[in-house]
Each structure stands twice: as C-alpha cells, then as structure tokens.
Amino acid sequence: MSRRCVLGLDLGTSGVKAVLVATDGSVLARADRGYAVASPHPRWAETDPAQWEAAARDAVASVLADVDADVVAIGLDGQMHGTVLVDASGEPVRPAVLWPDGRAGDELARWQALAPERLRALANPLAPGMTGPVLAWLTRHEPDVVARAHRVLLPKDWLRTRLVPGALVTDHSDASATLLWDLERDEWSRDVLAATGIRADLLPEVVPSDEVVGTLDATEAAAWGLPAGIPVVAGCADAAATLVGSSSAPGRLVVTVGSGAQVVLPGITPTFDGPITHHTYRAASGGAYAMVAVMNAGIALTRVVSLLGGSWDDLYHDYDRQRPVPGFVPFLSGERLPTAAAPNSGRWFGLGLETERADLFAAALEGLCFTIRRGVESMPELADTAIDVAGGGTRSPVFAQLLADVLGRELCRVDLEDATAVGAALLAFRGAGLDLPEPPPRRGVGVRPGDSGPLEQRYARFLDEVDR
C-alpha cells in the first residue's frame, strides 16, 4: 500500500538531496547526488544549472524507487546568494554564479556610498558573492548577457522552474540575502538599484515560502516520474529550511560545525541602527533570524592536519590546554563577521623553541572555538544561555567539551540529519492541505562547561591578534 508523503528537494552548493516525508513527519527515503563547482578564473565559482536539474531528477528517481509513495506536494530549498540569469522561458543565459565567488569585490564601493540609514536597512554585511554585487558586476562586465536576461533567480527558484515552468519568483528568505532587499521597508531597495545601475525589471516577484506557485502539469510530471496536478510551493533558503526542519526554538542559539560553521538565532526582531555584526534574514515563517557564518571551521582544521602530516586522531588525541599553546587565527579563506578579514590571513602566532606539533594542533582547535565564540558574542542578547550544537565537527568529545568551556555555556548536541531537506518538505504540507506533524523529541547529550583555565587569557590574546 502506498504511503502519502511530500517531496523535499535541498539544492546545495555541491550536491542535491531528495527526501520523502510521510504525513507523520518520518523520512521514508533519501538520496544524494553531487555535481561540480567550476572556477574558470581565479576567485570565480560557477555551476551550469543543467547539472542541478540532472542531479535532482536522479535523486528523485532514486527515492521513488525505494518506497511505494503517493507524493502529494513538493517543497524546495537551496544555497543562498546565487545568481541565475534567465530568459523569458526560464532558460539560463550564462552559468550560475555562486556564493563563494569573489569577482565582485570592487562593486561593494557602490553599496558603501549609500546613505547610512539605507545601508543599515539591508541588515547585512557586504560580501562580494551575494546576488546584488554579482549582478552589478555582470551588468558592468557582461552587458550583452544581462541584456538578454528577463529575470534573476536564486538557485532553488531556478530548479523550481523545471517543475513549474514560468514561475519566475522568489521568497522573502532568499530575497533578504541578496543585498538588494530593504528589510526595513520589506521591498526591493530602490536606493541600491539607483546606486548600482541594476535593472529593476530583473528582480522577481517575492512571495511567502509556503505559497503554492503552480502545479505539476502532465508533461513535467511524466518527466520527473511524479503525479500530475500536485502543488509546488515557493520554497526558501537553506538556512531558513534548517530552522523549519529542526524545530529550532525562538531565542535559542544553534551552532552547526561542518566545513564551515553557522551561529543562528531564530525569532529575532530586526533592528536598523548601530553597526552590522551579523546577518539578518527573513525566516520561512515570515519572522527573522540572525546568523554569523564562520567560513573557516572544518575546512581550516583539515588544512592544518594536512600541513602537519597528521590525522584527525592526532588533532584530538594529545590536546592539553595546560601546555604553553601558541595562538592560531584560522582565517585561511578570510572571514566576514563580526568584522571582515581578507583571504590568506590565517596564521599561528606566539611560537617558541618549545612548541611541538601537538601544540600546533591544540592551537588550531582553540582558534576555531575562539572564532565561534566571537560570532556568538556578536549576536543579540539571549535569555536562554544553553546552545544547541550539531554537525560532524561536534561529534568529538574533546572538541565539544573545549567549545563548552570556551563559550562558558551548556551545549546540547542534537541530531539534525536531513533537517534542511525535511524543512523544505514541511513547507509543502500547507500547500497540500495537510496539518504539520508534531516535531520529534529533541534528543541530545548535554555538555556542561568546566574550568576554563587559561582559555580566557588566550581568547583575549586571540582578539588582540585578530584586531591588529
């Protein structure tokens, strides 16, 4: 007997995940497919959107083959900040430009020249890989290509046009991450368009994340192996989908550590005065969340392990904070927040003749924890001091205890497997006329902070080094 379910598609930077979520919230099937990110020039990051479509179709075919499923709706989420220029039929006019792309650095001067109150209304730090600066760069350097474009879409929006052709729209969570959206007025920023020369008609209509934007017609249904007539919702940005899928509580920090790290605080009220020390994005629910994205987490530790000819066991095995550990700034690929740092600014400091390889490993672990603390301290004040932590980087008991000691807060390690793709699927429940399932119990292991010992002094030394 077939089981009634919804399909969730999570379009990441280097791979797509498909999940089938039953009406009780359980995951019936999952599949991942990867694709390449090209760098045709230094600091560029692009992907042919056709790779996304091929990978998504393959992943969907896989989950449909795993279970006897009655799919009743489709939800999507995707990597943030990407730039997909399309013609009137939704076909790309060039490869998609992705968030790691750095070509648009010079374009940021146009944003910096805005009136201070309008710059603050964007509620985000300036980064070259965000949609606005990339679109400004393309307008200046590829005018013929831009002239052929009818709309600019975010990655998940383009993938959705392969299901519902002609639905050239985006949602508030992705719009707020473009540096083109005025969060104070909740509209595309007229001031940014005037300052950058970006065509206003390129910007798509913005709709709620759970709004049905169309139904699967017979042709597309046959191509995807799905039932005709099922609704497809707008979808949301990947970070917003993770908050939906993990049932994150407003006012409680979530720290996820993987190749990068994210410090996320759901349920905030945006403010538009003072310096910008964190991202502020619209949530899929219509509220807002704050986020600091740490670019150098697992990716920096991986490089340290490689440089020192060690293993992950070496990284954790001999950690001893009582030794004279040197300092480490892990900004190998630069950092964005709470203040910007240039690429190639990672470094060890305070080395002496007594320094050993184990001390360099220890410094790398502490440096990452200090960077995460720096992000936590840039967030709005919290009533709930406990922090949920997730991701592969938090599975090491050594790292989890060190992070708790550095932050001085209790950590709850929780399992967020498939949370992003599940969040995308849950957005489709309303479109299908279904009640949202009760969230599963948040099971996790508590890690209480212990004596920080020399960590406070080392954190102060770290901040001095970063601020030089």
pLDDT higher at 388 or 416: 388
φ, ψ for residue 268, nearest 5 deg: -95, 165
pLDDT higher at 245 or 201: 201
15-19, 318-322, 359-363, range with the lowest pLDDT: 318-322
The answer, yes or no, to whether the previous bond of 42 is cis (omega within 30 of 0) is no
pLDDT band at residue 443 using 50, 70 and 90 as cut-offs: low
**Single-letter residue type at 60:** V
Tokens of 389: 């932590």
Note the pLDDT tens digit of each residue in 351-393: 999 999 999 999 999 999 999 999 999 988 877 888 988 877 7
Note the pLDDT tens digit of each residue in 43-75: 899 999 999 999 999 999 999 999 999 999 999
Of the ranges 23-32, 52-61, 97-106, 309-318, which is most confident? 52-61
The mean pLDDT value of the chain amounts to 93
Q: Is 441 a residue whose pLDDT tops 70?
A: no
Helix (H/G/I), strand (E/B), else coil: 154: coil
φ, ψ for residue 326, nearest 5 deg: -70, 180
pLDDT band at residue 440 using 50, 70 and 90 as cut-offs: low
The CATH number of the domain covering residues in 3-239: 3.30.420.40
- A 10 A CB-CB count for 328 gives 28
Question: Looking at residue 251, what is its pLDDT?
Answer: 87
Question: Looking at residue 442, what is its pLDDT?
Answer: 61
DSSP output for 379-401: SPP-S---EEEESGGG-SHHHHH
Question: Looking at residue 346, what is its pLDDT?
Answer: 92
Strand 187-188 relative to strand 181-182: parallel, antiparallel, unpaired? antiparallel
**Single-letter residue type at 460:** A
Question: Looking at residue 134, what is its pLDDT?
Answer: 98
What is d(CA 326, CA 34) in angstroms, rounded to the nearest whole number? Answer: 39
pLDDT band at residue 437 using 50, 70 and 90 as cut-offs: confident
pLDDT band at residue 428 using 50, 70 and 90 as cut-offs: very high
Question: Looking at residue 275, what is its pLDDT?
Answer: 86
pLDDT higher at 323 or 137: 137
Note the pLDDT tens digit of each residue in 265-288: 999 999 998 888 899 999 998 899
179-193, 268-282, 411-425, 428-442, range with the lowest pLDDT: 428-442
Helix (H/G/I), strand (E/B), else coil: 364: helix
Note the pLDDT tens digit of each residue in 178-196: 999 999 999 999 999 999 9
Whose CA is closest to 76, among 87, 60, 58, 97? 60
Question: Looking at residue 438, what is its pLDDT?
Answer: 80
Strand 236-237 relative to strand 69-78: parallel, antiparallel, unpaired? parallel
Question: Looking at residue 430, what is its pLDDT?
Answer: 83
Strand segments, DSSP code E, in 197-341 are 205-207, 212-215, 231-233, 236-237, 253-257, 261-266, 279-282, 288-294, 327-329
Question: What Cα–Cα distance (Å) separates residue 226 from each residue in 70, 163, 290, 429?
Answer: 9, 10, 37, 17
